[in-house]
Structures are given as C-alpha cells and as structure tokens.
Amino acid sequence: MILQSVHAETIIIFDDIHWSDGMEKAWDEIRKNPSVTCSIDLFFMGMIFFRPEFREKQDFRIRF
C-alpha cells in the first residue's frame, strides 16, 4: 500500500530487519522491489530510497 504514496524524495526506515526469519524475508522482498533504487542495511534497521537519478540499483550493508 505504501508504494502508492512514494516519490523520488521518499525514504522508508524499517526497524529490526534481522529480528526473525520472517523479518529477514520481508526485508529481502522489500529491497528487491523494482521501485527501490538503493537499500542500506544497518543490521538493526534498514533504509530504502526511491531516487530515479540513481542509475543502478545499489544495496549496502554497514556493520558497526
């Protein structure tokens, strides 16, 4: 439902993306969505971007 409201400036933050197998599966599906141009996995949370000027889809994992 939320995809109907996103635009180029939208950033969505998801909490506990590695909390359970179900959450990891959901995160994987979300970041693979064709509308998503960039994902950042910070382990405890994930960020999704929809910037059309990002020419190639990018997925980052940052561990600290």
Higher-confidence residue of 64 and 35: namely 35
Strand boundaries in the chain, DSSP class E: 11-15, 38-41, 45-49, 58-61
User: What pTM was estimated for this model as a whole?
Assistant: 0.87
- The pLDDT, as a whole number, for residue 22 is 96
Contacts of 12 (CB under 8 A, 6+ apart): 2, 6, 47, 48
% pLDDT > 90, the chain: 78
- Each domain of the chain, given as residue ranges in start order, spans 2-61
